[in-house]
Copies of this chain bind each other. A is one copy, B any other.
Amino acid sequence: MYLLRVNMSNQTYQVTDMPEKYKNLAGRALTSNFIADEVPPLCHPLGQDNKLIFSAGFVTGTSAPTAARISVGGKSPLTKGIKEANAGSSWGADLAVMNIGGLVIEGYPKGKEKFWGLNITWDGKPKVEFFDATEYTQKKLSEIFPPMYEKYGDRISVCSVGSAAEYGYCNSGIVFNDQAKRPSRYAGRGGLGAVMAAKGVKFILLDRQGAPGVEIANKPLFNEGRKKMIDALTTHAITKPKGGLNTYGTAILINIMNEAGGLPTNNFHSGRFEGAPHIAGEAIFETNKVRKGKEIYNHACSPGCIIQCSNTVYTEGGEEITSCLEYESVWSLGVNIGIQDLDDLAMLNHLCNEYGLDTIETGTTLGVAMEAGLMKFGDSKKAIELVHETGKGTPLGRILGAGTETAGRVLGVTQVPVVKGQSIPAYEPRAVKGIGITYATSTMGADHTAGYTIAPEILGVMGKQDPLSVEGKAALSRAFQATTAFIDSSGHCLFIAFAVLDIASGYQGMIDETNGILGTNWTAEDVVKYGSAILKVERKFNEAAGISKEADRLPDFMTRDPLPPHNQVFDVSEEILDAVYGEM
């Protein structure tokens, strides 16, 4: 594997063998270790000393199923701590196939006016050409992806940032193409888009033609693991073809969480939303059936996925509004701001994709804007207007683009749902205690994907646990956080967890695949150790960046104000929160 360093101070690059110390590190394991090694923890995230690193997982680029994740790492402008955000895209698979174990963007162009594109091709080893991409700035993302394919060929993969990143917004993601060449797959959280833009990079194109592919140390073992994984994914009710996710998408969770009283509504003032059924996954499926005249099952976001959970939302006339409308986005841009009109919600999602905004952070910011009186809860027309403002970089738009915490500060709001500067996603900690522990303690700021205890607490994966109980939840969150850090390094989509946590042979398949590729002999115990080691590196970086254990807390209103319908507060003690990492 190669380490490819691109220096944006002078638009040069360097290809070296992957350093020995990074052997057996990929995905989140590599991005977090690299950032911890090379980025000064107290540097300005948009300044010259921050770095951005892309790395696909161990198994990405192979025939392993549901495994085309690309991790992006850097110091986050949103949390001011370490950040790994990942997305599913052919881009990750292509990077792996081109044997680029890590792609680093470092340095800082002197002038800020010019933006660059990087065209990375294979010529015996990776090769980088720089092109002037300034003409593609200040445009909607859907307008600038097609010219890339026209100019550089249909087989490329495309990574870019939108105008949100160009403005330096803390709420700006990095976008990758989906299988239909849409700019729709986001490493969305933490504002890494602004880091990429601050380095003057607008595009990173990958052309894998001629590349050698991923080396596999033990093919029989890999194939065995792959088969176990495929069996698990095609068997489990949630992940199988025409199963829960393939039929209703991730938004299948809307009705489930609403029923559980844990769906944060109107900026976290309730755990239940009357309008939820109108925008739930089932409603999307049924609406599509009517509008397209047939049942439409979901599609894959990236090559080799079995789960295929990505939906498309259509107008009454059958035209595409947006793809994909995830559970988190239905919640943030719908439930959390009182919107129950599916078309307007889909339009909000579409605009986030056009401007390069994280949908979660956008919706929670709009929630705070509503709290401030800028608009009424449920006013979808005004919400659309505000997202346009954000995309245009007006003063009001800049406030909203700066993320939920900063918007709350600027607007003088006290009910601001964030941890470590990153907004809380679609599961209410007062109604689901384990996920609250993950939000509080994750190195990433509030992040459901960092330790998804919803699986046992709500979905009964691995056996059902009472969501309102605190007992055993610190250990549960710790175990989930560690396992997740491994999965984020494997290149698998986190959604394999639904299947492999219930089906032991699937879990073993994940380990076999990894051992097959790396030639290692890791056990299930090693998986947790590997994940824990990543978390410790991240935690150490955060501490050096000034993020102490006192940041492992939910906002004060959640420990003070009871949430309907359960009328509970978040009653997890500080001792329990401190023990999550203290005992790791």
Contacts and interface: CB of A to CB of B under 8 A. Distances in A.
Contact of A412 (B169, B414, B416, B548): B169
Centre residue among A170, A406, A544 by max chain B CB count within 10 A: A406
A410 B406 contact: yes
A382 B557 CA distance: 40
B398 A402 contact: no
Contacts of A170: 409
Contacts of A396: 395
A188 B326 CA distance: 46
- How many copies make up the complex? 2
A44 B555 contact: yes
Interface size of A as a range: 35 or more
Contact of A398 (B411, B414, B548, B555): B411
A194 interface: yes
A402 B398 CA distance: 13
A517 B399 CA distance: 51
A414 B46 contact: yes
A410 B414 contact: no
Contacts of A553: 42, 546
From DSSP, what is the main secondary structure of chain A's interface residues? Answer: loop
B409 A47 contact: no
Given A406-B406, A553-B42, A412 B167 contact: yes
Contact of A548 (B43, B406, B546, B557): B546
Interface string A475-494: 00000000000000000000
Nearest to A412: B168
A100 B262 CA distance: 48
A82 to B, nearest CB: 14
A556 B194 contact: no
Contacts of A550: 41-42, 543-546, 548
Interface string A393-409: 01110110110001001
18 contacts: A41-B550, A42-B550, A42-B553, A43-B556, A44-B414, A44-B556, A46-B412, A46-B414, A77-B409, A168-B411, A168-B412, A194-B412, A198-B412, A398-B410, A406-B410, A410-B410, A546-B547, A546-B551
Interface of A: 40-44, 46-47, 49, 77, 167-170, 194, 198, 394-396, 398-399, 401-402, 406, 409-412, 414, 416, 543-548, 550-551, 553, 555-557, 560
List the 4 shortest-distance A-B pairs measured between CB atoms, nearest first: A168-B412, A546-B550, A395-B396, A395-B395
